[in-house]
Amino acid sequence: MNVLIVYAHPEPRSLNGALKDFTVQRLQAAGHAVQVSDLYAMAWKAPIDASDSVDHDPATRLDVSEASRRAFASGSQRPDIAAEQEKLRWADGVILQFPLWWFSMPAILKGWVDRVYAYGFAYGVGEHSDARWGDRYGEGSMVGKRAMLVVTTGGWESHYGPRGINGPMDDLLFPIHHGILHYPGFDVLPPFVVHRTSRIDEVRFAGLCEALGERLDNLWRTEPIAYRKQNAGDYEIPALTLKADVAPGQKGFAAHVLQPQA
């Protein structure tokens, strides 16, 4: 299989760097082809702007989506964007690896999403009608591909627990899991999360590698998070709210995960 690792940490000699190197080796040893988008090493341009459409006329008002749509359709995207899209087409599996900074991804990785996720590629795909609201949330360009987050954080696991002060990790990651990965069609695997990164000695690092290695070995066997598909009947269209008889009374992020049959 082909695996793309999108990796966002400025220091190769960091825990993140070591885990990324371990991941590459483990996947290659299992016979997979691996590409790494090391965003800091690539000096990835983070902000989306007018220069992302090489033929944008500066005198014209920039409509970000419309410029993205036109550039994607006409092949006038900046080459760095097109190259990342090509890696995504190539990949069967995608790993986003990053330290959790301010409860979200580092700016450089957000800028990878903002720019690479073009109109016509990751959104604005498919027909809008009475029965469909585009190919998204379970359909779209990434259908058949799997994605997983590898996330490090300085805080304790309890701080991210169901009643932890930071909010539950699953809820903090929902905008990424559901809004960035499920949206264009990825099957989203449970994340691999490392806590208390400042307290990692050799023993703990070995344990982390063992656990991560197991997750990597099972990349194609692990059950994805069972997010509901937008166009499969659970949502009113165009309101895009859950139908009254679907998860009745439930609100919030968790309502968008299918419940196991009783």
Neighbour tally for 108: CB within 10 Å: 18
13 binds a second copy, rule: CB under 8 A: yes
Q: Does 218 bind a second copy (CB under 8 A)?
A: no
Q: Which stretch binds a second copy (CB under 8 A): 28-36, 81-89, 139-147, 237-245?
A: 237-245
Can you tell me the distance from the alpha carbon of 66 to that of 157, in angstroms, rounded to the nearest whole number?
42
Q: Does 199 bind a second copy (CB under 8 A)?
A: no
* Contact map string, positions 53 to 72, toward a second copy, x by CB under 8 A: --------xxxxx-------
With binding defined as CB under 8 A, does residue 125 bind a second copy? Answer: no
Contact stretch for a second copy (CB under 8 A) within 20-28, 89-97, 108-116, 139-147: 108-116
Q: Is 103 in the site for a second copy (CB under 8 A)?
A: yes
SS3 at position 188: strand
Tell me how far apart the alpha carbons of residues 228 and 226 are, in angstroms, rounded to a whole number: 6
The pair phi, psi for residue 55, each rounded to 5°, is -105, 20
Interacting span for a second copy (CB under 8 A) from 37-45, 71-79, 139-147, 208-216: 37-45
CA proximity to 16, closest of 213, 193, 145, 226: 193
Residue holding tokens 């196991």? 260
Count Cβ atoms within 10 A of the Cβ of residue 42 and give its class: 0-12 exposed, 13-18 middle, 19 or more buried. middle
Give, to the nearest 10 degrees, the angle between helix 107-116 and helix 79-90.
80
Is there binding between residue 120 and a second copy (CB under 8 A)? Answer: no
What is the binding site for a second copy (CB under 8 A)? 10-11, 13-14, 39-40, 44, 46-50, 61-65, 99, 101-108, 110-111, 113-114, 117, 137, 154, 156, 158-159, 161-168, 171-172, 174-175, 178-180, 230, 235, 238-242, 247, 250-253, 255-256
